[in-house]
């Protein structure tokens, strides 16, 4: 089993960024899984295209458009002047950023700066003290728990440890969102579960328990479970840290392919600058409670902010020869 998995991971590693997500599928499940994923991809693509057209029109109207200015199109996810404290301890102060449909935002910043807290606020697990939070294009402040669950089916989160249900198998974990819909036949569910596990590089692990898996494998399964909800957006908390370099590379490639081929809107919390540069359309750098920088990766490369430069330089020192680069 271990040899098989290593071979599978090595194969996936050789496929590179451009390989199609569906190439990994065995022929008997491929049509079902492709149809299932394509429905979500088509809807996501239509939204992303509308954004591009709108942005092109706006750029024509104003040559001075900058990502610091108000967004030119309706963002899919946004923080507008969000503040959050725990007791006297201020974590976020007037933080603003946005993510357009189909785009990827990377959240950067040192440990304890509020990156995970920001994701928890977006998922509605924590409430901000002030400010507006937009998720799936709507203000989530007044939503009931039931309404928030609808939002969470469009925007799902992949936690660092996977946050899988420990007492049920990997297959049951991935099947969970499919069963909740109550409109699918059992063999269709089993095919999609098998296919999603193949897609994320952990084929054949349906009957294992989460406790039998490595951290990286748990994260892959968590991504498969997130995809089973046919989301428009996925939030990832440090997806490539605390795993071996090959696994980090595979997870990084997978996130990039999900963005490119399923047009998923993504937010990725990461310390890995090369990964961020490869993946991000925009970057927000949190520092001492504020969004010290928010802009495109291009703008980040040109910034003269000494604090951001110090962070980038430290990142180079801490992680020499990082795996996620090509």
Ligand X SMILES: Nc1ncnc2c1ncn2[C@@H]1O[C@H](COP(=O)(O)OP(=O)(O)OP(=O)(O)O)[C@@H](O)[C@H]1O
Binding site for Mg ion (CB under 5 A): 115-116
Taking the least distance from each CB to ligand X, the nearer of 198 and 237 is: 237
CB 109 within 8 A of CB 115: yes
Q: Which residue's C-beta sits nearest to Mg ion?
A: 116
Binding of ligand X at residue 83 (CB under 6 A)? no
Q: Contacting ligand X (CB under 6 A), which of 21, 82, 117, 229?
A: 117
Binding of ligand X at residue 112 (CB under 6 A)? yes
Binding of ligand X at residue 115 (CB under 6 A)? yes
Taking the least distance from each CB to Mg ion, the nearer of 21 and 122 is: 122
Q: Contacting ligand X (CB under 6 A), which of 111, 144, 211, 302?
A: 111
Stretch that binds ligand X, among 31-39, 107-115, 149-157, 314-322 (CB under 6 A): 107-115
| Helix intervals (H) in 169-305 | 170-181, 186-199, 215-228, 245-262, 273-279, 297-302
How many angstroms separate the CA atoms of 99 and 74, rounded? 9
CB 236 within 8 A of CB 255: yes
Q: Contacting ligand X (CB under 6 A), which of 15, 116, 215, 303?
A: 116
CB 41 within 8 A of CB 200: no
Stretch that binds ligand X, among 28-36, 98-106, 110-118, 298-306 (CB under 6 A): 110-118
Stretch that binds ligand X, among 14-22, 69-77, 108-116, 210-218 (CB under 6 A): 108-116
Give the shortest CB-151-to-ligand X separation in angstroms: 21
Q: Which of 240, 197, 264, 237 is nearest to 42 (CA)?
A: 264
In the region spanning residues 237 to 256, those forming contacts with ligand X, defined by CB under 6 A, are none
Give the shortest CB-86-to-ligand X separation in angstroms: 4
Taking the least distance from each CB to ligand X, the nearer of 113 and 229 is: 113
How many angstroms separate the CA atoms of 223 and 268, rounded? 13
Packing angle of the helix pair 170-181, 215-228 (nearest 10 deg):
10
Taking the least distance from each CB to ligand X, the nearer of 19 and 85 is: 85
Q: Which residues contact 86 (CB under 8 A, 6 or more apart)?
A: none
CB 25 within 8 A of CB 33: yes
> What is the layout of strands, in order, in the sheet containing 89-99?
89-99, 77-86, 130-135, 138-139
Size of interface with ligand X, in residues (CB under 6 A): 10
CB 200 within 8 A of CB 221: yes
Give the shortest CB-115-to-Mg ion separation in angstroms: 5
Binding site for ligand X (CB under 6 A): 86, 91, 109, 111-117
């Amino acid at each position: 089993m271990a040899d098989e998995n290593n071979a599978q991971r090595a194969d996936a590693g050789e496929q590179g960024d451009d390989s199609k997500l569906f190439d990994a599928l065995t022929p008997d499940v491929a049509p079902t899984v492709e149809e299932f994923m394509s429905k979500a991809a088509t809807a996501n693509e239509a939204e992303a295209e509308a954004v591009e057209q709108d942005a092109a029109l706006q750029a024509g109207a104003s040559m001075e458009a900058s990502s610091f200015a108000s967004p030119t199109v309706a963002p899919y996810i946004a923080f507008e002047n969000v503040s959050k404290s725990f007791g006297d301890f201020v974590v976020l102060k007037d933080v603003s950023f946005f993510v357009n449909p189909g785009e990827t935002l990377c959240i950067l910043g040192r440990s304890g700066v509020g990156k995970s807290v920001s994701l928890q606020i977006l998922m509605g697990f924590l409430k901000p003290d002030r400010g507006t939070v937009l998720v799936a294009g709507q203000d989530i402040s007044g939503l009931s728990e039931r309404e928030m669950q609808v939002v969470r089916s469009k925007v799902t989160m992949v936690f660092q440890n996977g946050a899988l249900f420990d007492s049920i198998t990997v297959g049951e974990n991935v099947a969970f969102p499919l069963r909740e819909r109550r409109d699918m036949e059992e063999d269709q569910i089993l095919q999609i579960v098998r296919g999603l596990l193949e897609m994320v590089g952990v084929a054949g692990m349906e009957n294992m328990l989460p406790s039998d898996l490595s951290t990286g494998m748990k994260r892959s399964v968590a991504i498969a479970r997130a995809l089973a909800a046919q989301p428009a957006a996925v939030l990832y908390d440090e997806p490539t840290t605390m795993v071996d370099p090959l696994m980090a590379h595979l997870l990084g490639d997978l996130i990039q392919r999900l963005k490119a081929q399923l047009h998923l809107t993504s937010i990725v919390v990461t310390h890995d600058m090369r990964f961020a540069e490869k993946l991000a359309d925009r970057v927000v750098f949190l520092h001492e409670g504020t969004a010290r920088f928010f802009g495109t990766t291009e703008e980040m490369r040109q910034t003269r902010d000494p604090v951001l430069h110090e962070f980038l330089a430290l990142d180079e020192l801490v992680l020499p020869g990082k795996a996620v680069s090509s």
